[in-house]
């Protein structure tokens, strides 16, 4: 479906507020759109949203579409921070532009390239794509979690994704920090890797949270 | 005047205990795996004419503790106000370990930095200019090879002449908004940093000291957290690491290079799925079965028991006592069935000690090579099914030596749930070396029974772990472990360690065997024993065991290995059928741990939990005996 850039941004906002923040719906003012504006028309006409007494809600189709927009935005953020090394506000703005260019198909390729990340650089969840379900070690990729790296591959730690405080603390305390050189030695029965002159054994639970930028 | 204190701290497995031993002349256990030291050791040292108290602490990765023993170390550092704090690190991993030095400097502690294991670093071609490092850090720095005693006199000089330099507590600069908080909070730099890292222990302490300020700080941190997209702890760690890397870049003369070596090749072999398990089987067969089982429990026990005691010691002692003490019960206290010499001393020194010592020796080799973390890595997947991480391999293997020591070592496990499951399994299905040795001696000619026993114990171990993991609430464990290089054990350390553990064992066992003998004699003469035997008759009957095993199970309550030794005695006298041997050794293996282990369980897990675990263990062991007996009867099997 071809949707205008402005409308996509409205969809994105609806998704964050309704699906993620669990709100009932949003008013026109909150969405910064007008009742007779083009975005409103597009939303209603393409059956993406419903207008109930001035409160906008997503339809089933709208939710699917909005989820996709959010996914593309957050993937774009990952791409810009992890591969192009951009930082701060610049990332958000560029990502907003970027998300519209990433049409279906391309977003899957970028997702593969980035090792199917599950959170954006700010820590919010990236909605899962079809490709994430069939992820594998054979994908061509630039960045990948340790659990998807081949034994013998080397790289630099790009970021650590752990959400639980204790797990993050555990990983950091071992001195496993972004920027460190890392080599995966083995991936079975446990993951064995080398950082500096030390070797560590970890389980999948930790390996899937350490993302590395593969160099060889 | 109070004695000055020296605290030794640092990452796990960097050689803190070696340096502690060298300074104090005492012996804290030294091995090649992270987490050897689980409690604080204190000793005295005389350096440059002055007396010092030296404190060895369990290894810690950072100031924010993950496990219990790290918490212990931090509390020591915070509460003991040391004259000098020796930070020991592994020179080849200086870049990874220097952030901890920076934390100590931020806490304004009187640090002396020791770059230890310099030999391994030099082999890799790593060279570090300690003068530059001293200038950058503002603390004394020296290199050492602890195991060879190198650098120790230099360390003593630095201690004797220590003068605290100007504080460099702001050695790491953080983001301006965080710096603002560190200055404004009024709790000092290190406390404020720990607050930013969401350390609940420090937060609670500060709340007690100054409620309003702590509440204010809490609010400010909430605001601060929203300004960053990443957890503050993560940003602080990154900042510290980049400062450490920058310092190393200046101080490092040569970065060294990666080299393959025989040890590295062998190391990878021990961790590959196929070869790894083959090597494990090899270790079990040669180490446990041949060395401990055949040599220790067979040849040595045979000699000391039947020759030394039965021929040389017991006849003359019995003769002497019977003449010296005319009173029957008085004689019984020393000789005859339950006497101190004939039962207590003989069980302790003739049957159990040789087995324990051979086991401790084999175990020392396993510890010092660095095999245990490799085993942990190999077995993590299996242990996960039982709610444990691979890390729990260390207390489990240690439990094959002594369950009491092992129960204490469960401290190194990260969650309460893991510690509980490990404690249960240690009490239930891990026989200690003394017990194991006696059992192997009993079963050496009975391979079928040995096989059945092995299967039963393993089934109980796995089922109990699996059920515990299902029933107990809590998160699944996370496995992470540093794998140290494989190292050639030092013979002197093997002997000293085995000797120290033997000494510890004898100290623990002597009062117990005195008590057991006295209690048994007293119970015998007051007819209490007869009463207990009458009561025990019924459960024993269910299990198809003769009445005479009752005394053995009563002794088994004091020490499992005494019970096992009693069974060994009965079998030698031909008092048990093979069916009864199977049932009794299964029950004895699963039965209550010895009193020492029970006390340790109460100490580590609290009274109620320890009692609940004891109840479970008792019920499971008796039920197992009952079921096996019924099955044997049902299928009319005579082994």
Is residue B226 predicted with pLDDT exceeding 90? Answer: no
Is residue A165 predicted with pLDDT exceeding 80? Answer: no
- In this prediction, residue B144 carries a pLDDT of 96
3-class SS at B253? strand
3-class SS at B109? coil
Residues B218 and B206: beta-carbon distance below 8 Å: no
- In this prediction, residue B67 carries a pLDDT of 80
Minimum-distance CB partner of A197 among B92, B241, B476: B92
Minimum-distance CB partner of B66 among A169, A175, A199: A169
Confidence of residue B490 (pLDDT cuts 50, 70, 90): very high
Partners of B9 in the beta sheet? Answer: B87
Superfamily of domain B4-160: P-loop containing nucleotide triphosphate hydrolases (3.40.50.300)
Q: Which residue of A has its CA nearest to B70?
A: A173
Report the distance separating Cα B616 and Cα B608, nearest Å: 12
Is residue A136 predicted with pLDDT exceeding 70? Answer: no
Is residue B46 predicted with pLDDT exceeding 80? Answer: yes
- In this prediction, residue A89 carries a pLDDT of 63
Is residue B409 predicted with pLDDT exceeding 70? Answer: yes
Interchain contact, A190 vs B479, CB within 8 Å: yes
CB neighbours (10 Å) of residue B173? 10
Confidence of residue A139 (pLDDT cuts 50, 70, 90): low
- In this prediction, residue B629 carries a pLDDT of 93
pLDDT digits (tens, 9 = 90+) for B349-358: 888 888 889 9
Is residue A63 predicted with pLDDT exceeding 70? Answer: yes
Confidence of residue B485 (pLDDT cuts 50, 70, 90): very high
| pLDDT, mean of residues B329-347 | 83
For residue B284, what is the enclosing H or E element? Answer: none
- In this prediction, residue B463 carries a pLDDT of 95
CB neighbours (10 Å) of residue B370? 22
Confidence of residue B98 (pLDDT cuts 50, 70, 90): very high
Instruction: Look over chain B and give the mean of its residue pLDDT values, rounded to a whole number.
Output: 89
Interchain contact, A200 vs B62, CB within 8 Å: no
| pLDDT, mean of residues B185-210 | 89
> Range with the lowest mean pLDDT among A178-187, B80-89, B558-567, B624-633?
B558-567
DSSP chain A: ----HHHHHHHHHHIIIIIIS--S-EEHHHHT--TTSHHHHHHHHTTSEEEETTEEEE-HHHHHHHHHHHHHHHHHHHIIIIIS---THHHHHHHHHHHHH--TTHHHHHHHHTT--SB-TTSPBPPP-HHHHT--TTS--SEEEGGGSPTT-EEEEEEE---SHHHHHHHHHTT--TT-EEEEEE-SSSEEEEETTEEEEE-HHHHTTEEEEE--
Is residue A134 predicted with pLDDT exceeding 80? Answer: no
- In this prediction, residue A11 carries a pLDDT of 85
Question: Domain spanning B176-255 has what CATH number?
Answer: 1.10.287
Residues B33 and B13: beta-carbon distance below 8 Å: yes
pLDDT digits (tens, 9 = 90+) for B172-192: 999 999 999 998 888 889 999
- In this prediction, residue B336 carries a pLDDT of 84
* β-pair type (B141-143, B111-116): parallel
Is residue B509 predicted with pLDDT exceeding 80? Answer: no
3-class SS at B188? coil
Interchain contact, B66 vs A173, CB within 8 Å: yes
> Range with the lowest mean pLDDT among A147-161, B24-38, B168-182, B549-563?
B549-563
> Range with the lowest mean pLDDT among A95-104, A159-168, B468-477?
A95-104
Residues of chain B above pLDDT 90, percent = 51
- In this prediction, residue A138 carries a pLDDT of 64
Distances in Å between the Cα of B40 and the Cα atoms of B17, B75, B615 are 10, 11, 32
Q: For this complex, say whether ipTM is above 0.95.
A: no
Residues B341 and B334: beta-carbon distance below 8 Å: yes
Chain A positions touching B115 (Cβ under 8 A) are none
Chain A positions touching B238 (Cβ under 8 A) are 177-179
Interface of B with A in 57-96 (CB under 8 A): 61-62, 64, 66, 90, 92-93, 95-96
* Domain boundaries for CATH 3.40.50.300 within chain B: 4-160
Report the distance separating Cα A14 and Cα A51, nearest Å: 13
Chain B positions touching A198 (Cβ under 8 A) are 90, 93, 96, 482-483
Please, which residues have CB within 8 angstroms of residue A201's CB and are 6 or more apart in sequence? A190, A191, A192, B271, B373, B376, B377, B380, B390, B479, B480, B481, B483
> Range with the lowest mean pLDDT among A127-136, B148-157, B244-253, B325-334?
A127-136
**Selection from A71, A27, A22, A72 nearest residue A49 by Cα:** A27
Is residue A83 predicted with pLDDT exceeding 80? Answer: no
Is residue B279 predicted with pLDDT exceeding 80? Answer: yes
pLDDT digits (tens, 9 = 90+) for B357-402: 998 999 999 999 999 999 999 999 999 999 999 999 999 998 988 8
Is residue B39 predicted with pLDDT exceeding 90? Answer: no
Is residue B21 predicted with pLDDT exceeding 70? Answer: yes
Closest approach of chain B CAs to the CA of A54, in angstroms?
32
Interchain contact, B61 vs A173, CB within 8 Å: yes
Instruction: Give phi and psi for B50, each to the nearest 5.
Output: -110, 150
Residues B276 and B139: beta-carbon distance below 8 Å: no
pLDDT digits (tens, 9 = 90+) for B153-176: 999 999 999 998 888 988 999 999
| pLDDT, mean of residues B287-307 | 85
Residues A10 and A31: beta-carbon distance below 8 Å: yes
B127 touches chain A (CB under 8 A): no
Interchain contact, A123 vs B229, CB within 8 Å: yes
Report the distance separating Cα A194 and Cα A191, nearest Å: 10
- In this prediction, residue B55 carries a pLDDT of 96
* β-pair type (A143-145, A210-214): antiparallel
Closest approach of chain B CAs to the CA of A171, in angstroms?
8
* Domain boundaries for CATH 1.10.287 within chain B: 176-255
Closest approach of chain A CAs to the CA of B124, in angstroms?
9
Interchain contact, A171 vs B480, CB within 8 Å: yes
| pLDDT, mean of residues B30-37 | 86
A200 touches chain B (CB under 8 A): yes
Instruction: Look over chain A and give the mean of its residue pLDDT values, rounded to a whole number.
Output: 83
- Structural domains in chain A, CATH included, are 1-138 (1.10.10.10), 143-214 (2.30.30.90)
Chain A positions touching B225 (Cβ under 8 A) are none
CB neighbours (10 Å) of residue B379? 21
- In this prediction, residue B625 carries a pLDDT of 93
3-class SS at B638? coil
Q: Which residue of B has its CA nearest to A165?
A: B231
Residues B62 and A173: beta-carbon distance below 8 Å: yes
In terms of average pLDDT, the best of B151-160, B228-237, B300-309, B528-537 is: B151-160
> A172 is written with which tokens?
């950091």
Return the half-sphere exposure (C-beta side, CA atoms, 13 A cut-off) of residue B98: 29
Is residue A1 predicted with pLDDT exceeding 80? Answer: no
pLDDT digits (tens, 9 = 90+) for B130-159: 999 999 999 999 999 999 999 999 999 999
Is residue B547 predicted with pLDDT exceeding 80? Answer: yes
Is residue B300 predicted with pLDDT exceeding 70? Answer: yes
B203 touches chain A (CB under 8 A): no
Confidence of residue A151 (pLDDT cuts 50, 70, 90): very high
Is residue A104 predicted with pLDDT exceeding 80? Answer: no
B482 touches chain A (CB under 8 A): yes
Q: What is the pTM of this model?
A: 0.86
For residue B515, what is the enclosing H or E element? Answer: helix B491-525
Confidence of residue B628 (pLDDT cuts 50, 70, 90): very high
Q: Which residue of A has its CA nearest to B34?
A: A200
Minimum-distance CB partner of A206 among B241, B273, B480: B480
Closest approach of chain A CAs to the CA of B103, in angstroms?
12
């Amino acid at each position: 479906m071809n949707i205008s850039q402005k409308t996509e941004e409205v969809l994105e906002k609806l998704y964050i507020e309704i699906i993620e923040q669990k709100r009932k719906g949003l008013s026109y003012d909150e969405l910064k759109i007008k009742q007779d504006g083009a975005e409103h028309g597009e939303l209603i006409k393409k059956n993406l949203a419903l207008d109930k007494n001035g409160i906008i809600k997503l339809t089933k189709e709208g939710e699917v579409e909005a989820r996709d927009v959010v996914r593309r935005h957050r993937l774009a953020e990952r791409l810009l921070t992890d591969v192009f090394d951009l930082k701060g506000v610049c990332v958000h703005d560029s990502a907003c532009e970027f998300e519209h260019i990433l049409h279906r198909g391309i977003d899957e390729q970028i997702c593969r390239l980035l090792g199917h990340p599950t959170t954006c650089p700010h820590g919010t969840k990236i909605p899962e794509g079809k490709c994430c379900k069939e992820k594998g070690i054979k994908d061509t990729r630039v960045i990948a979690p340790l659990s998807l790296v081949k034994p013998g591959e080397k790289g630099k730690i790009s970021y650590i994704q752990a959400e639980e405080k204790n797990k993050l603390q555990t990983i950091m305390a071992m001195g496993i920090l972004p920027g460190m050189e890392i080599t995966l030695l083995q991936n079975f029965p446990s993951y064995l890797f080398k950082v500096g002159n030390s070797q560590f054994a970890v389980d999948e639970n930790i390996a899937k949270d350490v993302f590395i930028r593969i160099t060889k | 005047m109070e004695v000055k204190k020296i605290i030794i701290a640092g990452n796990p497995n960097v050689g803190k205990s070696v340096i502690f031993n060298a300074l104090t002349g005492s012996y804290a256990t030294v091995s090649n795996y992270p987490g050897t030291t689980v409690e604080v050791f204190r000793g005295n040292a005389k350096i440059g004419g002055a007396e010092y108290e030296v404190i060895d602490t369990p290894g810690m990765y950072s100031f924010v503790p993950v496990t219990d023993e790290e918490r212990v170390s931090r509390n020591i550092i915070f509460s003991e106000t040391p004259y000098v704090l020796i930070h020991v690190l592994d020179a080849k991993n200086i870049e990874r370990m220097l952030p901890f030095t920076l934390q100590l400097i931020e806490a304004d502690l009187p640090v002396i930095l020791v770059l230890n294991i310099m030999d391994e670093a030099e082999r890799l071609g790593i060279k570090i200019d300690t003068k530059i490092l001293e200038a950058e850090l503002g603390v004394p720095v020296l290199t050492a090879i602890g195991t060879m005693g190198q650098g120790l006199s230099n360390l003593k000089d630095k201690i004797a002449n220590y003068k605290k330099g100007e504080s460099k507590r702001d050695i790491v600069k953080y983001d301006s908004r965080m710096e603002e908080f560190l200055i404004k909070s009024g709790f000092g730099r290190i406390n404020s940093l720990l607050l930013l890292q969401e350390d609940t222990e420090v937060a609670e302490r500060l709340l007690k000291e100054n409620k309003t300020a702590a509440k204010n700080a809490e609010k400010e941190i909430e605001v601060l957290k929203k300004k960053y997209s990443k957890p503050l702890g993560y940003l602080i760690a990154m900042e510290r690491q980049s400062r450490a890397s920058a310092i190393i870049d200046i101080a490092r003369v040569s970065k060294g290079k990666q080299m393959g070596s025989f040890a590295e090749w062998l190391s990878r072999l021990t961790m590959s799925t196929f070869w790894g398990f083959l090597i494990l089987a090899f270790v079990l067969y040669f180490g446990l079965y041949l060395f401990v089982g055949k040599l220790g429990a067979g040849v040595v026990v045979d000699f000391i028991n039947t020759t030394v005691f039965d021929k040389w010691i017991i006849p003359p002692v019995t003769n002497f006592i019977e003449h010296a003490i005319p009173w029957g019960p008085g004689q019984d206290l020393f000789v005859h069935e339950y006497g101190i010499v004939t039962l207590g001393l003989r069980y302790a020194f003739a049957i159990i000690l040789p087995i324990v010592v051979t086991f401790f020796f084999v175990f020392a080799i396993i510890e010092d090579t660095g095999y245990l973390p490799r085993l942990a890595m190999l077995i993590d997947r299996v242990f996960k099914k039982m709610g444990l991480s691979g890390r729990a391999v260390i207390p489990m293997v240690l439990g094959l030596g002594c369950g009491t020591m092992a129960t204490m070592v469960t401290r190194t496990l990260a969650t309460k749930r893991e510690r509980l499951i490990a404690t249960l399994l240690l009490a239930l299905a891990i026989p200690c070396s003394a017990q194991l040795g006696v059992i192997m001696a009993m079963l050496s000619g009975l391979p079928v029974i040995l096989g059945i026993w092995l299967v039963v114990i393993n089934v109980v171990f796995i089922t109990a772990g699996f059920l515990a993991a299902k029933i107990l609430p809590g998160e699944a464990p996370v496995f992470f472990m540093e794998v140290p290089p494989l190292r050639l054990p030092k013979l002197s350390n093997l002997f000293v360690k085995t000797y120290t553990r033997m000494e510890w064992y004898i100290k623990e066992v002597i009062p117990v065997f005195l008590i057991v003998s006295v209690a048994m004699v007293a119970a015998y003469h007051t007819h209490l024993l007869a009463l207990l035997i009458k009561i025990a008759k019924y459960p024993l009957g269910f299990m198809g065991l003769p009445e005479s095993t009752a005394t053995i199970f009563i002794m088994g309550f004091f020490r499992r290995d005494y019970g096992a030794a009693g069974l060994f005695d009965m079998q030698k006298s031909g008092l048990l059928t093979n069916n009864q041997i199977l049932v009794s050794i299964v029950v004895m293996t699963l039965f209550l741990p010895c009193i020492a282990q029970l006390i340790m369980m109460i100490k580590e897990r609290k009274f109620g939990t320890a009692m609940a675990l004891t109840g479970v263990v008792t019920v499971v062991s008796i039920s197992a005996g009952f079921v096996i007996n019924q099955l044997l009867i049902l299928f009319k099997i005579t082994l």
